[in-house]
């Protein structure tokens, strides 16, 4: 029997039974934006940047199973405008001062904003007060840039077996917390070679003393845009 397919922006994409729209699209070399999704973890469905339109409904491509014959709209003005609005909300909710951020040029949030040509934050800035945690000898936490994707929480719990991070509070009072009586990273068993130390898509979890080892202008998304970098390497690629 031939593989079932769905249509992504009018082009046929094959999928395996149970595969999510985003995964199937990626396997076929087609990019759908995502921030909280990561190939090593089950879908989380919190950022909504992977929004697509299926049968008139806006759904998360990372958490919606592909269906044979479905017509999926992704790279359309309507959906990209919605994504841009989500990005703008993420930018004003935290403190994203890119010129002083070590992650600039390697940051997925910033690169997605470039991809979607977000030129203004549009909304009123919250300018929240979020002190940094520099207690750990090797790693700095700058909470000002957290987008609550929970990737560090999941990586620490599921891969490092440590549960160093947790999200507390709800809605606008949500906070990334460090699991220690003192609340300080130095008082946990976190280590610089943990999976959780390398998974943050933005500039929260930063290894100390290497911030500018790669100069601005020569970084990941200086060399290629996110929609290329984010796709899995196909066989034969270098």
Partner 1 sequence: MSTPRKLRVATVSLAGCFGCHMSLLDIDEHVFALLDKVELDRSPLTDLKTCGPCDIGLVEGGVCNSENVHVLREFRAQCKTLVAMGACAINGGLPAQRNHLDVGQCLSAVFQSRPGMDTAEVPDDPELPLPLDKVHPIHEVVRVDYFLPGCPPSGEAIWQFISDLLAGRTPRVSYPLLHFD
Residues interacting with ligand FES, by CB under 6 A?
34-37, 45-50, 60, 62
Beta strands in 37-76 (DSSP E): 51-54, 57-60, 71-73
The alpha carbon of 194 is separated from its chain's Cα centroid by a whole number of angstroms, namely 18
Handedness of CA 51, 53, 54, 56 (dihedral sign): positive
The neighbouring-strand residues paired with 8 are 11, 72
Taking alpha carbons only, the member of 50, 41, 45 closest to residue 22 is 50
Count of residues that bind partner 1 according to CB under 8 A: 28
Q: Which of the residues 185 through 224 are near partner 1 (CB under 8 A)? A: 216, 222
Cβ neighbours for 76, distance < 8 A, ≥ 6 positions apart: 9, 53
Instruction: Tell the smallest beta-carbon distance from residue 137 to ligand SF4 (Å).
Output: 19
Nearer to partner 1, 124 or 170 (CB): 124
* Cβ 108 to ligand SF4 shortest distance, Å: 8
110 binds partner 1, rule: CB under 8 A:
yes
d(CA 212, CA 218): 11
Report the length, in residues, of the chain.
Answer: 238
Q: Which does 31 bind (CB under 5 to 8 A by kind): ligand SF4, ligand FES, partner 1, none?
A: none
Residue 226 has φ and ψ, to the nearest 5°, of -55, -40
The item of ligand SF4, partner 1, ligand FES, none sharing an interface with residue 128, based on CB under 5 to 8 Å by kind, is partner 1
Residue 85 touching partner 1 (CB under 8 A): no
Total residues in contact with ligand SF4, by rule CB under 6 A: 24
Residues that bind partner 1 in the complex, under the rule CB under 8 A: 91, 95-101, 104-105, 110, 113-115, 117, 119-122, 124-125, 127-130, 216, 222, 225
């Amino acid at each position: 029997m031939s593989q079932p397919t769905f249509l992504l922006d009018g082009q046929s994409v094959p999928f395996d039974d149970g595969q999510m729209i985003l995964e199937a699209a990626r396997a076929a070399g087609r990019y759908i934006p995502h921030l909280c999704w990561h190939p090593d973890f089950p879908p989380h469905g919190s950022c909504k940047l992977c929004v697509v339109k299926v049968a008139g409904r806006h759904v998360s491509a990372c958490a919606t199973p592909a269906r044979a014959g479905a017509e999926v709209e992704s790279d359309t003005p309507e959906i990209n405008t919605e994504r841009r609005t989500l990005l703008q909300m993420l930018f004003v909710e935290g403190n994203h001062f890119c010129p002083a951020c070590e992650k600039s040029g390697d940051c997925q949030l910033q690169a997605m904003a470039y991809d979607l040509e977000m030129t203004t934050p549009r909304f009123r800035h919250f300018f929240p007060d979020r002190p940094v945690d520099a207690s750990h000898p090797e790693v700095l936490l700058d909470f000002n840039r957290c987008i609550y994707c929970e990737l560090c929480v999941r990586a620490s719990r599921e891969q490092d077996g440590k549960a160093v991070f947790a999200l507390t509070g709800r809605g606008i009072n949500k906070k990334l917390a460090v699991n220690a009586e003192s609340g300080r990273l130095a008082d946990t068993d976190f280590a610089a070679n943990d999976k959780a130390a390398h998974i943050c898509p933005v500039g929260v979890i930063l290894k100390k003393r290497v911030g500018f080892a790669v100069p601005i202008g020569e970084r990941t998304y200086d060399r290629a845009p996110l929609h290329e970098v984010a796709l899995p390497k196909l066989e034969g690629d270098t």
